[in-house]
Amino acid sequence: MKNLLIILLISLSSYAQQTYPTLGKIITYDPLFSKLVSADAKIEVIATGLKWAEGPVWVKDGGYLLFSDAPQNTIFRWDEKNGLQPFLKPSGYTGIGQYSDEPGSNGLLVNPAGELVACEHGDRRISKMNLSGGGKVTIADNWQGKRFNSPNDICRHSSGTYYFTDPIYGLPGRENDTKNREIDVEGVYSVDTKGSVVQFQSNLKRPNGVALSPDETILYVSHTDGANPYIMAYAVDKDGVVGTGKIFFDFREHKEVSNGAADGIKTDAAGNIYAAAANGIVVISPKGKLLGKIETGVPTANCNFGADGYLYITAHHYLCRVKLK
């Protein structure tokens, strides 16, 4: 019994002391940033060998992370004990043969019912499935009878309404795809609990990331257009209806991150915006003030918060994390 206890303690000690390689650096532009991330915080690379990591989401009930790799048409799972493992393949295209360069799932979330909700490029829909039992159900796959381009990112209002973007990144010919494309704009949509789909924005060239403010009065949408790299903010009423919008943060006005165009975005409990841009995560206050940057040094797609106090970051071939305060 004594020997067994010693072996157990050694095993736990090895597990607790697990270390990972690091990359990048923490850059502070405003003193407020130090309340969110320590200046000496390490950006750990916890998995690699991916093609294009995207859409991370923390599963609270299981204590693990799920994220997409659209080129590999796979959702991966990661946890501290077991490391990286395939979770679902195919994740976004169930057809035969090669569809596009990015056929798999992209943005993910776990809804209050414990279902995994996914933006699927190849099957061109928003789906949901039980995490334990599987079996996908389509939430929405068209607007006015026309199939979506390739749903990209998604968030959920407490009313049950989902908001999602629909750029052309997953289409075989992207903007030049005349064979498959049915909607001639790259829209932003909502779908309510009854399955009613509304296109509430149609004049953005490359809508991408989408996130709600903590009080659900603002919907943020990132615009991944190199000529017009900004984040929009739209008013949202108590029923989840989206109103007028305005530019919230224009990357061209901030020379420190002027080479960026935001991909995925998330908000924390204080309303700060974490935008994947400029080879890292750019952090912006609710008032639009540039606070700091978690610089990975590589193209960075998205991020999300874990219940373990880490910000998980999908950055090109890597899955990374950094401890938050």
Q: Tell me, what's the pLDDT at 171?
A: 97
Please report whether residue 294 resides in a domain: no
Positions in the chain whose pLDDT score sits under 50: 1-15
Q: For 74-132, what is each residue's pLDDT tens digit?
A: 999 999 999 999 999 999 999 999 999 999 999 999 999 999 999 999 999 999 999 98
Domain span at residue 58?
Answer: 49-274+301-323
Please report whether residue 22 resides in a domain: no
Please report whether residue 242 resides in a domain: yes
Please report whether residue 3 resides in a domain: no
What lies within 8 Å, CB to CB, of 52 at 6+ separation is: 69, 70, 71, 102, 301, 316, 317
Number of domains in the chain: 1
Kind of pairing, strands 310-315 and 207-212? unpaired
Q: Tell me, what's the pLDDT at 13?
A: 42
d(CA 263, CA 173): 20
Please report whether residue 282 resides in a domain: no
Q: Within 13 Å and on the Cβ side, how many CA atoms surround 96? A: 0
Q: Tell me, what's the pLDDT at 158?
A: 96
Q: For 213-244, what is each residue's pLDDT tens digit?
A: 999 999 999 999 988 999 999 999 999 999 99
Please report whether residue 240 resides in a domain: yes
Q: Give the CATH number of the domain where residue 264 resides.
A: 2.120.10.30
- Number of helical (H) and strand (E) elements in the chain, helices listed first: 1, 28
Please report whether residue 75 resides in a domain: yes
The model's pTM is 0.93
Residue type present at position 84: L
Please report whether residue 24 resides in a domain: no
